[in-house]
Structure 1
Amino acid sequence: YFEHLTPLRGIGVYDSAKLAADVFSRTYHEAFQLPTVTLRMCNIFGPYDFNSEYRLLPKAMQSIFGNPEPMAPELYFDAIEHQRDYLYVDELVNAIILLAHSNVCRGEVYNLAGGTYMSTPAMLRTIVELAAGVEEAVDQQRAQAILDNGIAVKVKANASTIHAITKQHLNGEKLVKDTAFQPAHEFLDSLTKTIRFYREHYQLAKEGENHVHLLAG
């Protein structure tokens, strides 16, 4: 995807809403000289994302760490061929700060490309392997269960109203040229850090539930 060469296609309601915001942002810059910058992001991951219903990593973390016994993260059959860019949330914050402080970026459109481009199955396998590594330091038996579970391929019972693009890969050369933006975090390190956050989050939630049960008893 290139900022001014690739046609924008709102193939779903969610995509169309983002497309409308994109157009309004640039319109307000042209009509009212509002200092806007449009940033088209890739898939962002990091701590504190609790959208476990739709987002790949939070959903996988809930399956692995949010149950008494680890469950296999689900991979929908129609997503087997999906490929996406992935970028750590701290990189997004850095890009926003750079864009906000650069006058040359006002009224412009930028892609925020990912540090890593991979298929959805490969991403889930990586999550499972790293989660097992994080768990191994605490509970080797549970870590082995995470590995043994692997990934569960699931076929949707009903047709979804959410239409997804099969391959999303952004070109971020314009952002680098105008702001000198460069990812500062290694992908596997930041993904491991994020997985540790979710494990601690679910562990604290479990301890809180046990404390409530003790008080009630």
Structure 2
Amino acid sequence: MDIDTKVEDRPVFVTGADGFVGSHLVDRLVDAGADVHVFVRATSSGELNNIVHQSKEVTVHRGDLRDSHSVREALSSLQDYSDSLIFHLAAQAHVGESWDRPYETIETNVTGTLNLLQAVVDLDLDVAKIDTAGTSEEYGNIKDEMEEKHEFQEDGRVLLSERSPVNPTSIYATSKLAADFLTMNFHDGYGLPTVTTRMFNNYGPRQNPRYITGTIITQALENDVVKLGNLQPKRDMCHVSDGVRGHLHVALEGTPGEQYVYGHGENISMREWTNLILEVGSEHGYWNNPEIVQREDRYRPGDSDVEELLVGYEKLHEETGWEPEVSWREGVHETIDWYDKNREQWYGRVDWR
């Protein structure tokens, strides 16, 4: 699919545009010549971080998803356009922080999604597709009574697809599932051309250092010891560039009212992922074999951790041709290099000091 041709000069509205995935999506859209509108949280300084280099190439709308007025004002910029695309990526997206900030998580992820969808209806916008970004965390762990409804590989691993039952085990996952359902409600009730996407665990340059990949890399760059929590869970790690391509494929060729899941298509335990990162970093001279130490205070609360996530992305591949392109070793090297060269962007944000 020629993404550039399909978005060139096209109005595109991105929430969460200054975030991790959103900033990479903005880069891709600007490079393709789209008319990019970004919605970012208003702050006293008003500065952009991850997309400051694109500030002259995009139209910036500042506001807060939780404030319906600012959402409506920003979206009103699309009233003179037709065939617009909306990517809804803004969220409180950290699982651990959802327990510390439960109200903000619900207000941002649920009420914020409602504000966006309702504004599209109230403004009667001519929109080609609205993509709400969900999360693989919505699947949670398998309940015994639901086991027969799951798909399993020959080696016994559960394969998660659009057909799989959901079982959110954190406030974050529950809020994102609610946002998914709201998005589908507005398709069923108002005919909005909505889709939902569940990208499995993403990683790459610019990610908040409190996520697993970032915390491993930043600790290894600064210390001889890397302190981590539970390393048994398995995750399907998807490089951000593959994730951005997934969003674009769904928005441009996906069917309204449908859900699409995608990721690398292979999973890895967090201990193996840690070993891979430290091995790649040692090979390229970023550090010298740091020690791994597990600490209980870095575990998720109670039984809320998800044991295993592995995606089956056949639906997206069959409908659009999408498949992952970045290998783990290639993606990890690129990510380490970014953290190494951009310490000022993450040093004050880590949770291990």
- Aligned partner of 2:215: which letter? K
* Structure 2 CA distance for aligned equivalents of residues 41 and 187 of structure 1: 16
Q: Out of 117, 141, 162, which is 1:3 matched to?
A: 162
Structure 2 equivalent of residue 94 of structure 1? 245
Rate the CA distance shift 1:160–1:71 in 2: closer, same or farther, 3 A: farther
The structure showing larger relative contact order (alpha-carbon pairs under 8 Å, at least 6 residues apart) is 1
Query: Of residues 331, 334, 349 in structure 2, which corresponds to 1:190?
Result: 331
Q: Does 1:46 align with 2:210?
A: no
Partner of 2:195 in structure 1? 37
Counterpart in 2 of 1:75?
Answer: 228
Counterpart among 286, 309, 315 of residue 174 in structure 1: 315
Within 1, Cα distance between the matches of 2:299 and 2:330? 37
Measure, in 1, the Cα distance between the counterparts of 2:215 and 2:314.
Answer: 31
**1:119 aligns to 2:269 (yes or no):** yes
Q: Using the alignment, how far apart are the partners of 1:113 and 1:183 within structure 2?
A: 7
Q: Is the 8 A contact 1:98 1:179 kept in 2?
A: yes
**More strand, by proportion:** 2
Cα drift, residue 35 of structure 1 = 1.1
Question: Which consecutive residues of structure 2, in runs of 5 or more, have no partner in the other structure?
Answer: 1-159, 348-353
Q: Can you give the 5+ residue segments of structure 1 that lack an aligned partner in the other structure?
A: 137-142, 207-217
Q: TM-score, normalised by structure 1?
A: 0.79
C-alpha distance in 2 between matches for 1:9 and 1:90: 28
Q: CA RMSD in A?
A: 2.2
**In structure 2, C-alpha distance between the alignment counterparts of 1:155 and 1:108, rounded to whole Å:** 40
Distance change >3 Å, CA 192–CA 171, structure 1 → 2:
same
> What is the TM-score with the length of structure 2 in the denominator?
0.50
* 8 Å contact from structure 1 (residues 13, 162) kept in 2: no
The aligned counterpart of 1:61 is 217
Cα deviation for residue 61 of structure 1 reads 1.9
Query: 1:19 & 1:64 partners in 2: Cα distance?
Result: 34
Q: How many residues align?
A: 188
Aligned 8 A contact 1:3 1:109 in 2: yes
1 CA distance for matches of 2:299 and 2:212? 19
Identity value in percent: 22
SS in 2 for 1:38: strand
Deviations, residues 15-38 of structure 1 (Å, cap 9, x unaligned): 100110111111111111111111
Query: What is the alpha-carbon distance in structure 2 between the residues aligned to residue 163 and residue 205 of structure 1?
Result: 27
2:294 counterpart of 1:135: no
User: What is the CA–CA distance in structure 2 between the aligned matches of 1:11 and 1:203, rounded to whole Å?
Assistant: 34
